Amino acid sequence: MRVGRSAFCNCAMNVTFNLASELETALQDAAQTAGLEADALNTEVRTADPRHGDFQANGVLGYAKARKLNPRATAEQIVAALPEDLLARCEVSIAGPGFINFTFGADTLLDWLQKHDTVDHLKSGASAFYQGQRFVVDYSSPNTAKQLHVGHIRSMVIGEAICRMLSFCGAEVTRDNHIGDWGTQFGKLIWGYKNLLDENALQTDALEELERLYKAADAATKEDAATLDAARAELVKLQQGDAENLALWKQIIAISSSAFQKVYDRLDIKFDHEHGESFYRDQLARVYQELEETGLSSESQGALVVFHPEHPRFKTQPFIVRKSDGASNYATTDLATMLYRTEHFKADAIIVLTDTRQSDHFQQLWLTTVKWYAAKNYPLPRFEHVSFGSILGDDGKAIKTRSGDPIRLHALLEEACDRAYTLVSEKSPDIPEEERQEIGRTVGMGAVRYADLSQNRSSDYVFNWEKILSFEGNTAPYLLYAVTRIHSIFRKLDFDPATIETATAAAPETPNEQALARKLVGLAAVLNMTTEQLRPHFLCTYLYELAGAFSSFYSADKVLVEDEAVRARRLLLCARTLLVLETGLHMLGLRTLQRM
């Protein structure tokens, strides 16, 4: 049933960035006006299948059901109470068992496009989502003494994208690289350094030698219990402040951190802090003390542990906060870290990115934190363990080199850029060599990043060069190509898309123009969803669909036509598509290109 008419309205309208939230407010008010229990109505509006409209509200179904009302009749009551000015801009209909569908008129689409003309304007619209909220995001977090390998990439790439998205949406984001520089591996490494060091190798390639030492020491501790004890003793000495071990430790940190930095630079990742585990070493005593004082911890087999009796598993599976030899571990530093982030950073939310195998640990950490904070009356932040699956090889098992070693990240990125360069050289041999190199780097890095981001992080994924560097489908090259085609149009006209005159442009008309405009307006809803669930693949899917809508429009509706009015309105669409595509890709951590 059609209730409103999409009448044209020439008055200047206050178009909001987030049309869905505008509808939600209107529904809430209408329910009130209609005399319904407005608070009990779920007014959530979601983006709809284009066949049904721009947005749909389904809350009436549940509301009517619970009260034994006719859902369609209830929907009609609400729709009848919607304000006139909304009905003038938006066609509202009731369909099926009681869905309320909303389709905005072309003039509203035009208003939105005119108003959201720069990154800053998009950003100020989006900032309503997380304005004033402090987020601490803990990602990358490698272990010192090991090189970065493929297994580290998801935390970095997904973590960085989440930071950028949240920041775009108004959050105050603190990036913290929680380096593993104080754990058991140092016992092994120091033992190895003292017993197995090859001085020459250390001079030639320090990082390589450290890695060899760690592996050799690790193997030795597995073979011999006495060696394991010796390695543990080295860790205890370090943690107690032994001068020799501290000096060694500092040397090791310096070597590995300079290697990490090279990869971070390459990936455009820059941390605000690198508070590794060692940073918390003098804050651990307080953790032990408060856990004991509040009665949360207990002694078990010589270790200090926390059990959670209400939990099916953690009632017997301990959360070990101090080892029987007195050394701290992951749990101890993580508890201290939690405290530091709440007290020092005053975090409203803490996000930690690690693979899904660490889920137990973070569940125990959180259960413990909740009780601890309650007992001490500390303000409890929101906490999210953003977990992700593993990267698999063609055999379906964790990816490795032929020799069984992990694939080094710098080598992987190098190969991606080389392969992309080769492809660019095939497709665009006329572009100068130096620029092709640069394009290769942008496409290669983008392809690796996008392949990781475009998939739901929860599942494992199979790493495959053909798929990652494929130039078809939901890939970085497809999106980058769409961007370059738009740049190409403006290059032809010889003007900057940011300076386009939009006031004279008319509303989108053809089916492809309208579909593209509607897609653009959907940005707000996608940002909301992707940051709410901390899943960048929603943004990827959106950008892919946007690029697809543009490609269809581009091939159906010629932009550079004689008719000035037609050309103006199509150029506006091009400019805004470019803006949203580039803004979205930058949010994901990709760079974009003028041509490729």
Partner RNA sequence: GCACCCGUAGCUCAAUUGGAUAGAGCGCCUGACUACGAAUCAGGAGGUUCGGGGUUCAAGUCCCUGCGGGUGCACCA
Show contacts with RNA in window 140-169 (CB under 7 A): 143
Cα separation, 74 vs 113, whole angstroms: 34
Long-range contacts of 220-228 (CB under 8 A, 24+ apart): 220/191, 220/192, 220/196, 221/188, 221/191, 227/191
Closer of 151 and 381 to RNA (Cβ): 151
Extract the tokens encoding 180: 């593993």
Query: Is 558 one of the binding residues for RNA (CB under 7 A)?
Result: yes
Among 461, 507, 566, 581, binds RNA (CB under 7 A): 461
Cα–Cα distance, 145 to 262 (Å, whole number) = 15
Q: Which is nearer to RNA, 374 or 561 (CB)?
A: 561
Report the distance separating Cα 421 and Cα 442, nearest Å. Answer: 9
- For the segment 87-146, give every residue that binds RNA (CB under 7 A): 95-97, 99, 101, 143
Near RNA by CB under 7 A: residue from 70, 131, 456, 504:
456
Among 105, 170, 192, 318, binds RNA (CB under 7 A): 318
| Binding track over 499-538 against RNA, x by CB under 7 A | --------------------------x---x---x-x-xx
The DSSP output letter for 173 is: E
Subset of residues 8 to 37 that bind RNA, contact rule: CB under 7 A = none
Site string for RNA, 255-294 (x = CB under 7 A): ----------------------x-----------------
**Paired sense of beta strands 391-392 and 461-462, if any:** parallel
Q: Write each residue from 180 to 199 as x if it is in contact with RNA (CB under 7 A), else as -, in one continuous string.
A: x--xxx--------------
Shortest distance, position 464 Cβ to RNA, whole Å: 8
Nearest to 9 by CA among 85, 93, 116: 85
- Which one of residues 21, 119, 255, 548 is an interface residue with RNA (CB under 7 A)? 548
136 or 202, CB closer to RNA? 136
Question: Which residue has 């190098």 as its token pair?
Answer: 414
Q: And the tokens for 71?
A: 């859902």
Using the rule CB under 7 A, which residue among 317, 437, 502, 510 binds RNA? 317
358 forms part of the interface with RNA (CB under 7 A): yes
Q: How far apart are the first and last CA of the chain?
A: 49
Task: Check binding of 357 to RNA (CB under 7 A).
Answer: yes
Per CB under 7 A, does 489 bind RNA?
A: yes
- Binding residues with RNA: total (CB under 7 A): 98
User: Considering only residues 68-87, where is the footprint of RNA by CB under 7 A?
Assistant: none
CB of 63 to RNA, least distance (A): 9
Strand order in the sheet with 382-388: 172-176, 134-138, 349-355, 382-388
Residue 109: in which H helix or E strand, if any?
helix 106-115
Count of alpha carbons within 13 Å of 5, Cβ hemisphere only? Answer: 3
